[in-house]
Amino acid sequence: MSTATTNESNAGLGPYQYQPLAKGSGDIRLIKIVQVQEARGNDTDVILEIDMFHVPSVKLALISQCPDLQRSRLVGPENTFRALFTIHHSTQKTKTELYQPGEQVMLWIDALCINQVDVAEKNTQVPRMGQIYRQAKGAVGYIGAPEPGRDPGDGFLALAWFGNAPVIKPPEGIPADQSDPRFQEWYRSYQIQQENEPPQDFAEALTSLFANDWFLRCWVIQEMVLSRETVCLYGYGQDARSWSLKTMAMLIERGQSAANHRHDLNKAVKGSKARILELEKAVQVDSWRVLREDLAKKPSGLGIVELLSRTRFGKATDLRDKVYALLGLMNEEDVPVIRVDYSESYTAAQLFRDVAVHCMASLDGPATLVHAGLESSIRGLPTWVPDWSTMYRTPLNTGIYNACANLFRPINVLPGRRKLSALGVKVDIIAHTGIPMTYPDAQLEKHRMNRSTRDGTPDIFGLVLSAAILCERLRERHPAGYPLKHENWPDVVWRTCCVDRNWAGKRVTGNDRLSFHACLKRFGFGEDLFAAVKLDEATGQMPVQSASRSFQDSGLNEAALSFELMVIEFQKGRVLGTTAGGLFGSFPSTTKVGDIVVVLFGGWVPFVLRPVEEDLFELVGAAYVHGIMDGEWVQAAVAADEPDLLRDFVIQ
């Protein structure tokens, strides 16, 4: 028997001694909560008594009793203790898809059931976590708790309104527990009210819910995706509320897809001090739903690059867990090449490079490069190796472009695994850049409110202004229209600002153009975008500067807001710029004048390279270059049959 505490009141007990798991046996440890002792008048003096025992994982459903163990003190993370304490109270009083009130449940918690100081045990147990989640009856996700004094139920009520169901209080006779089948049956028949004011403290309650880092922990992904059923607990101890993850995912999906979602959300948070940035975590829940659906179609697992890119926001104390936490979701080709090694000698940099080398030998090579670049936070990592521990910029949706015109050539990792060689076509050299849209988290909230930041980072008005100024210079050189296609210059501006894609992840349509014109009108650009950015000789100012209106004064135009939020999202970590030959594009924020634009065979998008020395380059990152995203440049280069146009680029 082990005792877990929130303080050192049991300091007299000896530390718990893990008994080694039999090698090659497939055994795991399980936990059963025996009892809880709470000292009256002192919320921090709580003792959990648990039994921990070994069991073959194939017999999880057959365990009915535990052996007697010597009483000792088990030290674990505080959040693990809070989760166990809350689970105990929930199982005593709440009916969910996983347990009945009063039912004794057996738990597997990685923080306790794996001896965290035994490297050899971690190396063998971590790869089996996916199997454990699949065999278990379900998973309990402990989200955390709101600030003192706030009812955890307020967060779920706010989420319900976010899902376009403002009035969620069920009629008398229907339980308020959102995971109860009777509640879900009533909710399915509920007529959603399209026009409704948000509940009181909507923004604060919702952001309080999503402020919990649980939504971003990389180890949560496997639990939520692989488990048959999942119950989420929010709150602490007896005050916690339970919800089915399916209910949460349904509301978030509905909220994201609702036509008036963004308008309603901004109306609700206007003037609020709540951190709207936290709402981005809601997207993670929806991503788990999509992963479950994708795995149902591909039960053998998904590709490693796809998984890492889709879970990049996940956070881990040990950066190697960014990869290891996805083993249960990977396909059979990728899992065997992943070296699970928690020894100090095998670093995250080595793991990330090993993953990149493996991917370069497959069709995923160029797709891997899309997530790499100069901004790595890991010292010594080659620029072609993605640093999965951070987010450089909003990634381009490679599935909608075809810059390489379907021409594929293998990428060769050179001896020493520090450099690679890729065949491609040089497009042009960077001639001018605008003001970069930085990506640090500290700036995102300011971007959300469309306000200029103190470091000069542009808001949507500044971004469109920068685009118009850059294109006005090109327009003077190419009055007949944009190079290659002779496209109208205003179309070049708006399509490049949103990298020619919309919220649905597809290429833009006429409706998206209407939202761009609404944006121009809202900020005083008028009908002629380029006339608005020409300097007035008398005043020395641009007409648009005096005509523009601030975000707060302009009101909420739904069409304009759609374009603004879309551009701000897609341009994070990027900078607009032009090439010497007159092309306009969106490049990584670290792009400099003199960098070159190339298209690699097999790469669906162009890349920016920085010359280091003769025939040697660094990868700056992936780019959107208007007019060449469908293979136009590559097709012209191949048709010209000029040897100088095709070359191997060596990247370090």
Span 25-56, pLDDT tens digits: 788 999 888 887 765 555 556 777 888 888 88
CB 242 within 8 A of CB 278: no
Computed from CA positions of residues 95, 99, 104, 107, in that sequence, does the dihedral angle turn out positive or negative? negative
CB 391 within 8 A of CB 439: yes
In a 13 Å sphere around the CA of 442, the CA atoms on its Cβ side amount to 4
The CA distance from 312 to 319, in Å, is 12
The CA distance from 358 to 372, in Å, is 15
Q: Which residue spans within 561-615 are E strands per DSSP?
A: 574-579, 584-588, 596-600, 607-613
Angle at 280 between CA 515 and CA 144, to 5 degrees: 155
Enter the pTM of the model.
0.83
Among candidates 81, 68, 64, which has minimal Cα distance to 10?
81
Least confident stretch, 145-149, 268-272, 567-571, 601-605: 268-272
CB 430 within 8 A of CB 564: no
Least confident stretch, 281-290, 408-417, 427-436, 535-544: 535-544
Q: Identify the bridge partners of residue 50 per DSSP, sorted by sequence position.
A: 2, 33
Among candidates 44, 38, 37, which has minimal Cα distance to 1?
37
| Model confidence band, residue 249 (pLDDT cutoffs 50, 70, 90) | confident
* Helix (H) or strand (E) segment spanning residue 620: strand 616-622
Distance of CA 37 to the CA centre of its chain: 40
Which residues are CB-neighbours of 461 under 8 A, at least 6 positions away?
A: 450, 523, 548
| Residue 371 pLDDT exceeds 90 | yes
- Where is pLDDT greater, at 58 or 589? 589
Distance of CA 450 to the CA centre of its chain: 21
Q: What is the DSSP letter of 21?
A: P
Angle between helices 152-162 and 202-210 (to 10 degrees): 100
Total Cβ atoms within 10 A of residue 213: 13
The CA distance from 48 to 43, in Å, is 13
Query: What phi and psi values does residue 603 have, to the nearest 5 degrees?
Result: -95, 120
Q: What is the DSSP letter of 213?
A: G
- pLDDT at residue 276, as a whole number: 46
Among candidates 401, 416, 458, 455, which has minimal Cα distance to 433?
458
CB 451 within 8 A of CB 621: no
First-to-last CA distance in the chain?
A: 55
**What is the gyration radius of the CA atoms in the chain, in angstroms?**
28
Which tokens hold the place of 404? 């390489």
Among candidates 195, 209, 205, 185, which has minimal Cα distance to 165?
195
Tokens 């999942």 -> residue: 230
The CA distance from 487 to 524, in Å, is 24
Domain boundary assignment for the chain: 1-75+99-109, 76-94+137-275, 449-472+487-570
Average pLDDT in the chain = 81
26 burial via Cβ count (<10 Å: 0-12, 13-18, 19+): middle
The CA distance from 497 to 516, in Å, is 10
Which tokens hold the place of 507? 């290429």
One-character DSSP codes across 332-360: TTTGGG-----STTS-HHHHHHHHHHHHH
Tokens 């010209």 -> residue: 640
Give the three-class secondary structure for 138: coil
Q: How do residues 166-218 score in pLDDT, each as one tens digit?
A: 445 566 777 766 566 777 676 666 544 434 566 677 778 888 888 888 998 99
Q: How do residues 72-105 score in pLDDT, each as one tens digit?
A: 566 667 888 889 999 999 999 888 889 999 888 8
- pLDDT at residue 62, as a whole number: 35
Inter-CA distances, 162 with 200, 207, 270, 646, Å: 13, 11, 15, 52
Q: How do residues 282-337 score in pLDDT, each as one tens digit?
A: 778 888 999 999 999 999 999 999 999 989 888 899 999 999 999 999 998 999 99
- pLDDT at residue 71, as a whole number: 52
What percent of the chain is predicted at pLDDT more than 90?
41
Which tokens hold the place of 63? 């365990």
Alpha helix stretches (DSSP H) within 279-319:
282-297, 304-310
| 530, amino acid identity | F
The CA distance from 123 to 107, in Å, is 21
Among candidates 635, 616, 285, which has minimal Cα distance to 427?
635
Q: How do residues 290-302 score in pLDDT, each as one tens digit?
A: 999 999 999 999 9
- pLDDT at residue 456, as a whole number: 45
CB 53 within 8 A of CB 66: yes
Which tokens hold the place of 136? 């278990």
Q: Provide mean pLDDT across the span 113-118.
A: 91
